[in-house]
Amino acid sequence: MTSKSGPPKKLVTRTASGALNARAHLLIPGGGHTYAKADDQFPEDMPIIVARGAGCRIWDVDGNEYIEFGMGLRAVTLGHAFAPVVAAARDALCLGTNYSRPSAIEVQCAETLQALIASAEMVKFCKNGSDALDGAIKLARAYTGRTKIAICGDHPFFSVGDWFIGSTAMPGGIPQWIRDQTLRFTYNDLASLAALFDRYPQEIASVVMEASRIDEPQPGFLQGVHDLCRARGAIFVLDEMITGFRWHRSGAQHVYGVRPDLSTFGKALSNGFSVSALAGRRDLMEAGGLRAPGERVFLLSTTHGAETHELAAAIATMRFYVDNDVTGVLHALGARLRSRIEDAARALGVQDHFKLLGRDCNLVYAARDAAGQGSNAFRTLFLQETIERGMIAPSLVVSYSHSEADIDAAAEIVYRALEVYRDALKNGIQHYLRGRPVRPVMRPFV
Protein backbone atom coordinates (compact mmCIF):
# COMPACT_ATOMS: atom_id res chain seq x y z
CA MET A 1 0.00 0.00 0.00
CA THR A 2 1.16 3.55 -0.62
CA SER A 3 1.68 5.88 2.29
CA LYS A 4 1.64 9.65 2.73
CA SER A 5 2.38 11.64 5.84
CA GLY A 6 -0.31 14.26 5.43
CA PRO A 7 -2.89 15.93 3.22
CA PRO A 8 -1.91 17.32 -0.18
CA LYS A 9 -0.68 20.89 -0.45
CA LYS A 10 -3.33 23.60 -0.80
CA LEU A 11 -4.58 23.94 -4.34
CA VAL A 12 -3.22 26.74 -6.47
CA THR A 13 -5.05 26.93 -9.80
CA ARG A 14 -7.46 25.11 -12.08
CA THR A 15 -6.80 27.15 -15.22
CA ALA A 16 -5.85 24.20 -17.43
CA SER A 17 -8.73 22.10 -16.11
CA GLY A 18 -11.19 24.90 -16.83
CA ALA A 19 -10.00 25.34 -20.40
CA LEU A 20 -10.00 21.61 -21.12
CA ASN A 21 -13.44 21.22 -19.54
CA ALA A 22 -14.82 23.91 -21.83
CA ARG A 23 -13.37 22.13 -24.88
CA ALA A 24 -14.87 18.84 -23.68
CA HIS A 25 -18.37 20.32 -23.63
CA LEU A 26 -17.97 21.36 -27.28
CA LEU A 27 -17.05 17.84 -28.29
CA ILE A 28 -18.79 15.46 -25.85
CA PRO A 29 -22.46 15.58 -24.72
CA GLY A 30 -22.32 16.53 -21.04
CA GLY A 31 -18.56 17.06 -21.22
CA GLY A 32 -17.78 13.44 -20.33
CA HIS A 33 -18.72 9.84 -20.98
CA THR A 34 -20.24 8.97 -17.58
CA TYR A 35 -23.12 10.92 -16.05
CA ALA A 36 -21.93 10.28 -12.48
CA LYS A 37 -18.64 12.06 -13.27
CA ALA A 38 -20.25 15.10 -14.93
CA ASP A 39 -20.03 18.77 -13.92
CA ASP A 40 -23.47 18.76 -12.32
CA GLN A 41 -22.25 16.22 -9.74
CA PHE A 42 -19.55 18.56 -8.43
CA PRO A 43 -19.28 22.21 -7.32
CA GLU A 44 -19.71 24.66 -10.16
CA ASP A 45 -16.33 26.38 -9.90
CA MET A 46 -14.26 23.20 -9.60
CA PRO A 47 -13.87 21.73 -13.11
CA ILE A 48 -11.26 19.06 -12.36
CA ILE A 49 -9.76 17.21 -15.33
CA VAL A 50 -7.59 14.30 -14.24
CA ALA A 51 -4.11 13.75 -15.68
CA ARG A 52 -2.96 10.66 -13.80
CA GLY A 53 -3.40 8.50 -10.72
CA ALA A 54 -1.24 6.37 -8.44
CA GLY A 55 -2.47 4.37 -5.49
CA CYS A 56 -5.23 6.36 -3.80
CA ARG A 57 -4.14 9.72 -5.24
CA ILE A 58 -4.85 11.56 -8.46
CA TRP A 59 -3.39 14.70 -10.06
CA ASP A 60 -5.28 17.10 -12.30
CA VAL A 61 -3.90 18.76 -15.43
CA ASP A 62 -2.90 21.78 -13.33
CA GLY A 63 -0.73 19.59 -11.10
CA ASN A 64 -3.00 19.68 -8.06
CA GLU A 65 -2.90 16.52 -5.95
CA TYR A 66 -5.93 14.88 -4.31
CA ILE A 67 -6.63 11.95 -2.06
CA GLU A 68 -9.40 10.15 -3.90
CA PHE A 69 -12.39 8.29 -2.52
CA GLY A 70 -14.97 6.63 -4.71
CA MET A 71 -12.09 5.27 -6.77
CA GLY A 72 -13.49 5.36 -10.28
CA LEU A 73 -17.10 4.74 -9.21
CA ARG A 74 -15.89 1.87 -6.97
CA ALA A 75 -14.12 0.10 -9.83
CA VAL A 76 -10.53 0.68 -8.70
CA THR A 77 -10.45 -1.44 -5.55
CA LEU A 78 -6.72 -2.14 -5.41
CA GLY A 79 -5.52 1.34 -6.41
CA HIS A 80 -4.73 3.40 -9.49
CA ALA A 81 -1.97 1.98 -11.72
CA PHE A 82 -1.65 -0.99 -9.36
CA ALA A 83 1.66 -2.58 -10.36
CA PRO A 84 0.77 -6.33 -10.55
CA VAL A 85 -2.34 -5.60 -12.61
CA VAL A 86 -0.59 -3.16 -14.92
CA ALA A 87 2.27 -5.62 -15.46
CA ALA A 88 -0.13 -8.43 -16.40
CA ALA A 89 -1.97 -6.21 -18.87
CA ARG A 90 1.31 -4.95 -20.36
CA ASP A 91 2.62 -8.47 -20.89
CA ALA A 92 -0.57 -9.51 -22.63
CA LEU A 93 -0.55 -6.41 -24.85
CA CYS A 94 2.81 -7.44 -26.27
CA LEU A 95 1.24 -10.65 -27.60
CA GLY A 96 -1.71 -8.99 -29.34
CA THR A 97 -5.10 -7.91 -28.09
CA ASN A 98 -7.70 -9.49 -30.39
CA TYR A 99 -7.77 -12.48 -32.73
CA SER A 100 -10.18 -14.26 -35.08
CA ARG A 101 -10.58 -17.20 -32.69
CA PRO A 102 -10.89 -17.45 -28.88
CA SER A 103 -7.63 -17.19 -26.96
CA ALA A 104 -6.32 -19.37 -24.16
CA ILE A 105 -6.65 -16.52 -21.69
CA GLU A 106 -10.45 -16.59 -22.08
CA VAL A 107 -10.52 -20.09 -20.62
CA GLN A 108 -8.01 -19.15 -17.90
CA CYS A 109 -10.04 -16.13 -16.84
CA ALA A 110 -13.29 -18.12 -16.77
CA GLU A 111 -11.67 -20.82 -14.66
CA THR A 112 -10.25 -18.21 -12.27
CA LEU A 113 -13.65 -16.60 -11.74
CA GLN A 114 -15.39 -19.96 -11.47
CA ALA A 115 -13.01 -21.00 -8.69
CA LEU A 116 -14.11 -18.00 -6.62
CA ILE A 117 -17.86 -17.83 -7.33
CA ALA A 118 -19.76 -20.96 -6.31
CA SER A 119 -22.78 -20.21 -8.52
CA ALA A 120 -20.67 -19.63 -11.67
CA GLU A 121 -21.25 -22.88 -13.55
CA MET A 122 -20.63 -21.00 -16.79
CA VAL A 123 -19.22 -17.52 -17.51
CA LYS A 124 -19.56 -15.00 -20.32
CA PHE A 125 -17.27 -11.95 -20.34
CA CYS A 126 -18.21 -8.56 -21.72
CA LYS A 127 -17.18 -4.93 -21.31
CA ASN A 128 -19.54 -3.27 -18.84
CA GLY A 129 -22.18 -4.03 -16.26
CA SER A 130 -25.06 -3.02 -18.49
CA ASP A 131 -24.15 -5.66 -21.07
CA ALA A 132 -24.01 -8.36 -18.40
CA LEU A 133 -27.38 -7.39 -16.88
CA ASP A 134 -28.97 -7.10 -20.32
CA GLY A 135 -27.77 -10.61 -21.09
CA ALA A 136 -29.27 -11.90 -17.86
CA ILE A 137 -32.63 -10.31 -18.70
CA LYS A 138 -32.59 -11.87 -22.17
CA LEU A 139 -31.87 -15.33 -20.77
CA ALA A 140 -34.59 -14.99 -18.14
CA ARG A 141 -37.20 -13.92 -20.69
CA ALA A 142 -36.26 -16.70 -23.10
CA TYR A 143 -36.26 -19.37 -20.38
CA THR A 144 -39.57 -18.34 -18.81
CA GLY A 145 -41.43 -17.05 -21.88
CA ARG A 146 -42.39 -14.01 -19.81
CA THR A 147 -41.61 -10.31 -20.30
CA LYS A 148 -41.89 -8.39 -17.02
CA ILE A 149 -38.89 -7.67 -14.78
CA ALA A 150 -39.14 -6.94 -11.05
CA ILE A 151 -36.30 -4.70 -9.84
CA CYS A 152 -35.46 -3.48 -6.36
CA GLY A 153 -36.60 0.13 -6.39
CA ASP A 154 -34.18 1.11 -3.62
CA HIS A 155 -31.14 0.32 -5.76
CA PRO A 156 -30.27 3.22 -8.05
CA PHE A 157 -28.85 1.78 -11.25
CA PHE A 158 -28.75 -1.50 -13.16
CA SER A 159 -28.27 -0.90 -16.89
CA VAL A 160 -28.35 1.56 -19.77
CA GLY A 161 -30.71 -0.92 -21.47
CA ASP A 162 -34.24 0.13 -22.34
CA TRP A 163 -35.73 -2.32 -19.83
CA PHE A 164 -34.18 -0.32 -16.96
CA ILE A 165 -33.86 3.27 -18.26
CA GLY A 166 -37.55 3.21 -19.11
CA SER A 167 -38.27 2.87 -15.39
CA THR A 168 -36.23 5.94 -14.37
CA ALA A 169 -36.87 9.69 -14.33
CA MET A 170 -35.08 9.91 -17.72
CA PRO A 171 -37.15 7.55 -19.93
CA GLY A 172 -36.92 9.69 -23.08
CA GLY A 173 -36.64 7.57 -26.22
CA ILE A 174 -38.05 4.44 -24.55
CA PRO A 175 -41.50 3.33 -25.84
CA GLN A 176 -44.23 3.18 -23.22
CA TRP A 177 -44.83 -0.54 -23.74
CA ILE A 178 -41.22 -1.21 -22.75
CA ARG A 179 -41.51 1.06 -19.72
CA ASP A 180 -44.54 -0.92 -18.59
CA GLN A 181 -42.53 -4.16 -18.42
CA THR A 182 -40.39 -3.12 -15.43
CA LEU A 183 -41.88 -3.26 -11.93
CA ARG A 184 -40.47 -2.15 -8.57
CA PHE A 185 -40.42 -3.72 -5.14
CA THR A 186 -38.95 -2.56 -1.83
CA TYR A 187 -35.72 -3.80 -0.28
CA ASN A 188 -36.15 -5.86 2.91
CA ASP A 189 -39.89 -6.10 2.20
CA LEU A 190 -40.59 -9.57 0.88
CA ALA A 191 -44.33 -8.87 0.92
CA SER A 192 -43.88 -6.10 -1.68
CA LEU A 193 -42.29 -8.61 -4.07
CA ALA A 194 -44.93 -11.23 -3.35
CA ALA A 195 -47.57 -8.62 -4.14
CA LEU A 196 -46.06 -8.10 -7.60
CA PHE A 197 -46.18 -11.83 -8.30
CA ASP A 198 -49.81 -11.86 -7.17
CA ARG A 199 -50.69 -8.86 -9.33
CA TYR A 200 -48.90 -10.20 -12.41
CA PRO A 201 -49.24 -14.02 -12.21
CA GLN A 202 -47.12 -15.91 -14.76
CA GLU A 203 -45.79 -12.60 -16.16
CA ILE A 204 -42.57 -11.89 -14.22
CA ALA A 205 -39.50 -13.38 -15.88
CA SER A 206 -36.87 -12.22 -13.43
CA VAL A 207 -36.15 -10.50 -10.12
CA VAL A 208 -33.08 -8.23 -10.27
CA MET A 209 -31.44 -6.71 -7.21
CA GLU A 210 -28.23 -6.09 -5.32
CA ALA A 211 -27.61 -8.15 -2.19
CA SER A 212 -27.21 -4.93 -0.20
CA ARG A 213 -26.36 -1.27 -0.71
CA ILE A 214 -26.93 1.00 2.30
CA ASP A 215 -28.90 -1.34 4.54
CA GLU A 216 -27.96 -4.92 5.36
CA PRO A 217 -30.50 -7.60 4.39
CA GLN A 218 -32.77 -8.63 7.24
CA PRO A 219 -32.45 -12.26 8.32
CA GLY A 220 -34.07 -14.51 5.75
CA PHE A 221 -34.83 -11.75 3.22
CA LEU A 222 -32.45 -12.81 0.43
CA GLN A 223 -33.28 -16.47 0.85
CA GLY A 224 -36.94 -15.46 0.83
CA VAL A 225 -36.45 -13.73 -2.53
CA HIS A 226 -34.69 -16.84 -3.83
CA ASP A 227 -37.49 -19.12 -2.63
CA LEU A 228 -40.21 -16.84 -3.97
CA CYS A 229 -38.57 -16.87 -7.40
CA ARG A 230 -38.44 -20.65 -7.28
CA ALA A 231 -42.09 -20.94 -6.28
CA ARG A 232 -43.29 -18.46 -8.92
CA GLY A 233 -41.08 -19.66 -11.77
CA ALA A 234 -38.89 -16.54 -12.07
CA ILE A 235 -35.12 -16.24 -12.47
CA PHE A 236 -33.23 -14.70 -9.54
CA VAL A 237 -30.51 -12.31 -10.80
CA LEU A 238 -28.05 -10.82 -8.32
CA ASP A 239 -26.20 -7.68 -9.44
CA GLU A 240 -22.72 -7.87 -7.85
CA MET A 241 -21.16 -4.96 -9.73
CA ILE A 242 -20.44 -3.16 -6.45
CA THR A 243 -20.57 -5.94 -3.86
CA GLY A 244 -18.46 -8.40 -5.85
CA PHE A 245 -14.80 -8.26 -4.77
CA ARG A 246 -15.64 -5.59 -2.20
CA TRP A 247 -17.84 -7.46 0.29
CA HIS A 248 -15.81 -10.64 -0.25
CA ARG A 249 -13.65 -12.13 -3.00
CA SER A 250 -16.44 -14.66 -3.53
CA GLY A 251 -19.10 -11.98 -3.63
CA ALA A 252 -21.95 -10.88 -1.41
CA GLN A 253 -23.69 -14.13 -2.27
CA HIS A 254 -20.98 -15.88 -0.23
CA VAL A 255 -21.32 -13.42 2.66
CA TYR A 256 -25.09 -13.85 2.89
CA GLY A 257 -25.25 -17.52 1.94
CA VAL A 258 -27.57 -17.21 -1.05
CA ARG A 259 -27.21 -18.81 -4.50
CA PRO A 260 -28.68 -16.78 -7.39
CA ASP A 261 -29.59 -18.30 -10.74
CA LEU A 262 -27.51 -15.66 -12.50
CA SER A 263 -25.14 -13.00 -11.19
CA THR A 264 -23.17 -10.18 -12.75
CA PHE A 265 -19.74 -8.83 -11.88
CA GLY A 266 -17.60 -5.90 -13.04
CA LYS A 267 -15.86 -2.84 -11.60
CA ALA A 268 -13.45 -4.40 -9.06
CA LEU A 269 -13.26 -7.63 -11.08
CA SER A 270 -10.33 -6.18 -13.04
CA ASN A 271 -9.40 -3.15 -10.88
CA GLY A 272 -10.95 -0.70 -13.30
CA PHE A 273 -10.13 -2.35 -16.63
CA SER A 274 -13.18 -2.83 -18.83
CA VAL A 275 -14.23 -6.36 -17.94
CA SER A 276 -17.60 -7.54 -16.70
CA ALA A 277 -19.07 -11.00 -16.41
CA LEU A 278 -22.39 -12.81 -16.51
CA ALA A 279 -22.21 -16.06 -14.56
CA GLY A 280 -24.70 -18.66 -13.45
CA ARG A 281 -26.60 -21.87 -14.00
CA ARG A 282 -25.42 -24.03 -16.88
CA ASP A 283 -28.91 -24.70 -18.24
CA LEU A 284 -29.59 -20.97 -18.48
CA MET A 285 -26.21 -19.96 -19.85
CA GLU A 286 -26.18 -22.74 -22.47
CA ALA A 287 -29.20 -21.11 -24.13
CA GLY A 288 -26.71 -18.56 -25.46
CA GLY A 289 -24.27 -21.20 -26.66
CA LEU A 290 -24.10 -23.91 -29.31
CA ARG A 291 -25.66 -26.74 -27.31
CA ALA A 292 -29.09 -25.27 -26.56
CA PRO A 293 -31.80 -27.95 -26.85
CA GLY A 294 -34.39 -25.38 -27.91
CA GLU A 295 -34.42 -22.00 -29.62
CA ARG A 296 -31.07 -20.22 -29.37
CA VAL A 297 -30.64 -16.89 -27.56
CA PHE A 298 -28.34 -14.24 -29.01
CA LEU A 299 -26.73 -13.61 -25.64
CA LEU A 300 -23.55 -11.52 -25.74
CA SER A 301 -21.29 -11.14 -28.76
CA THR A 302 -18.93 -8.19 -29.03
CA THR A 303 -15.76 -7.62 -31.03
CA HIS A 304 -13.89 -6.46 -27.94
CA GLY A 305 -15.57 -8.71 -25.36
CA ALA A 306 -12.47 -10.77 -24.63
CA GLU A 307 -9.48 -8.52 -25.27
CA THR A 308 -6.44 -10.29 -23.91
CA HIS A 309 -4.89 -7.49 -21.87
CA GLU A 310 -8.11 -6.77 -20.01
CA LEU A 311 -8.70 -10.42 -19.16
CA ALA A 312 -5.08 -10.59 -18.01
CA ALA A 313 -5.82 -7.65 -15.71
CA ALA A 314 -8.85 -9.51 -14.34
CA ILE A 315 -6.82 -12.67 -13.69
CA ALA A 316 -4.10 -10.67 -11.93
CA THR A 317 -6.71 -8.89 -9.82
CA MET A 318 -8.44 -12.10 -8.79
CA ARG A 319 -5.13 -13.78 -7.99
CA PHE A 320 -4.13 -10.83 -5.81
CA TYR A 321 -7.38 -11.28 -3.91
CA VAL A 322 -6.59 -14.96 -3.38
CA ASP A 323 -3.07 -14.21 -2.11
CA ASN A 324 -3.98 -11.18 0.03
CA ASP A 325 -6.81 -10.29 2.40
CA VAL A 326 -8.00 -7.38 0.27
CA THR A 327 -11.54 -7.21 1.61
CA GLY A 328 -10.24 -7.44 5.18
CA VAL A 329 -8.10 -4.38 4.49
CA LEU A 330 -11.02 -2.53 2.89
CA HIS A 331 -13.25 -3.18 5.89
CA ALA A 332 -10.53 -2.16 8.37
CA LEU A 333 -9.65 1.07 6.56
CA GLY A 334 -13.32 1.94 6.15
CA ALA A 335 -13.94 1.33 9.84
CA ARG A 336 -11.03 3.62 10.73
CA LEU A 337 -12.36 6.34 8.41
CA ARG A 338 -15.88 5.99 9.81
CA SER A 339 -14.65 6.27 13.38
CA ARG A 340 -12.49 9.33 12.72
CA ILE A 341 -15.22 11.18 10.80
CA GLU A 342 -17.98 10.35 13.26
CA ASP A 343 -15.75 11.60 16.09
CA ALA A 344 -15.20 14.83 14.16
CA ALA A 345 -18.93 15.29 13.49
CA ARG A 346 -19.74 14.80 17.18
CA ALA A 347 -16.99 17.18 18.27
CA LEU A 348 -18.41 19.86 15.97
CA GLY A 349 -22.03 19.16 16.87
CA VAL A 350 -23.08 18.22 13.31
CA GLN A 351 -23.58 14.48 13.86
CA ASP A 352 -27.30 14.79 13.07
CA HIS A 353 -26.57 16.64 9.82
CA PHE A 354 -23.66 14.69 8.35
CA LYS A 355 -24.14 10.92 8.54
CA LEU A 356 -22.08 8.00 7.29
CA LEU A 357 -24.06 5.10 5.84
CA GLY A 358 -23.35 1.64 4.47
CA ARG A 359 -20.84 -1.12 5.03
CA ASP A 360 -17.33 -0.07 6.13
CA CYS A 361 -15.90 -1.16 2.77
CA ASN A 362 -18.45 0.95 0.88
CA LEU A 363 -19.15 4.12 2.87
CA VAL A 364 -21.41 6.86 1.57
CA TYR A 365 -22.60 9.99 3.34
CA ALA A 366 -25.87 11.84 3.81
CA ALA A 367 -25.79 15.65 3.97
CA ARG A 368 -28.69 17.27 5.80
CA ASP A 369 -29.71 20.88 6.30
CA ALA A 370 -30.59 22.69 9.54
CA ALA A 371 -34.06 21.13 9.48
CA GLY A 372 -32.57 17.65 9.16
CA GLN A 373 -33.69 17.21 5.55
CA GLY A 374 -31.49 15.75 2.82
CA SER A 375 -29.78 18.62 1.04
CA ASN A 376 -27.93 18.77 -2.26
CA ALA A 377 -26.74 22.24 -1.29
CA PHE A 378 -25.00 20.93 1.83
CA ARG A 379 -23.61 17.99 -0.11
CA THR A 380 -22.13 20.50 -2.53
CA LEU A 381 -20.67 22.54 0.31
CA PHE A 382 -18.97 19.43 1.69
CA LEU A 383 -17.54 18.63 -1.74
CA GLN A 384 -16.44 22.23 -2.19
CA GLU A 385 -14.56 22.33 1.10
CA THR A 386 -12.93 18.90 0.76
CA ILE A 387 -11.84 19.50 -2.84
CA GLU A 388 -10.39 22.86 -1.82
CA ARG A 389 -8.24 21.01 0.71
CA GLY A 390 -7.10 18.27 -1.66
CA MET A 391 -9.65 15.47 -1.38
CA ILE A 392 -12.24 14.19 -3.87
CA ALA A 393 -15.09 12.37 -2.16
CA PRO A 394 -18.29 11.76 -4.14
CA SER A 395 -18.45 8.87 -1.69
CA LEU A 396 -16.06 7.69 1.02
CA VAL A 397 -15.21 4.36 -0.58
CA VAL A 398 -11.68 3.20 0.25
CA SER A 399 -9.19 1.16 -1.77
CA TYR A 400 -6.46 -1.30 -0.82
CA SER A 401 -3.92 1.45 -1.59
CA HIS A 402 -5.20 3.83 1.07
CA SER A 403 -2.85 3.65 4.06
CA GLU A 404 -3.74 4.49 7.65
CA ALA A 405 -1.81 7.74 7.16
CA ASP A 406 -3.99 8.54 4.12
CA ILE A 407 -7.11 7.82 6.15
CA ASP A 408 -5.95 10.09 8.96
CA ALA A 409 -5.05 12.87 6.50
CA ALA A 410 -8.49 12.56 4.92
CA ALA A 411 -10.15 12.67 8.34
CA GLU A 412 -8.33 15.93 9.07
CA ILE A 413 -9.59 17.39 5.79
CA VAL A 414 -13.13 16.31 6.63
CA TYR A 415 -12.84 17.92 10.07
CA ARG A 416 -11.92 21.27 8.47
CA ALA A 417 -14.74 20.92 5.95
CA LEU A 418 -17.25 20.15 8.70
CA GLU A 419 -16.18 23.30 10.54
CA VAL A 420 -17.48 25.26 7.54
CA TYR A 421 -20.53 22.99 7.39
CA ARG A 422 -21.29 23.80 11.04
CA ASP A 423 -21.02 27.53 10.38
CA ALA A 424 -23.30 27.24 7.36
CA LEU A 425 -25.93 25.46 9.45
CA LYS A 426 -25.78 28.33 11.90
CA ASN A 427 -25.47 31.34 9.60
CA GLY A 428 -27.06 30.18 6.35
CA ILE A 429 -25.49 28.23 3.53
CA GLN A 430 -25.81 31.13 1.10
CA HIS A 431 -22.84 32.76 2.86
CA TYR A 432 -20.56 29.78 2.15
CA LEU A 433 -21.63 27.92 -0.98
CA ARG A 434 -20.17 29.16 -4.26
CA GLY A 435 -22.38 28.43 -7.26
CA ARG A 436 -25.34 26.10 -7.77
CA PRO A 437 -25.93 22.86 -5.84
CA VAL A 438 -25.27 19.48 -7.40
CA ARG A 439 -28.28 17.80 -8.99
CA PRO A 440 -29.55 14.21 -9.30
CA VAL A 441 -28.20 12.33 -12.31
CA MET A 442 -31.65 10.92 -13.07
CA ARG A 443 -33.81 13.98 -13.82
CA PRO A 444 -36.01 14.66 -16.85
CA PHE A 445 -34.86 18.20 -17.64
CA VAL A 446 -31.56 20.08 -17.50
Which residues partner with 78 through β-bridges? none
C-alpha distance from residue 265 to each of 57, 78, 101, 246 (Å): 25, 16, 24, 11
- DSSP string spanning 66-77? EEESSHHHHT-S
Which residues of the chain fall below pLDDT 50?
1-3
Topology agreement, domain 20-81+325-431 and domain 95-323: no
Q: Which fold has domain 95-323?
A: Aspartate Aminotransferase; domain 2 (3.40.640)
Q: Domain map of the chain by residue range?
A: 20-81+325-431, 95-323
The pLDDT assigned to 12 comes to 63
pTM: 0.94
**For residues 210 and 362, what is the distance between their CA atoms, to the nearest angstrom?**
14
The pLDDT assigned to 356 comes to 98
Q: Which fold has domain 20-81+325-431?
A: Aspartate Aminotransferase, domain 1 (3.90.1150)
The contacts of residue 285 (CB under 8 Å, 6+ apart) are 121, 122, 123, 124, 139, 262, 278, 279, 299
Task: Give 27-78 pLDDT, tens digit per residue.
Answer: 999 999 999 999 999 999 889 999 999 999 999 999 999 999 989 999 999 9
**For residues 174 and 183, what is the distance between their CA atoms, to the nearest angstrom?**
15
**For residues 270 and 77, what is the distance between their CA atoms, to the nearest angstrom?**
9
- Residue 270 half-sphere exposure toward CB, CA atoms < 13 A: 29
Residues in the chain: 446
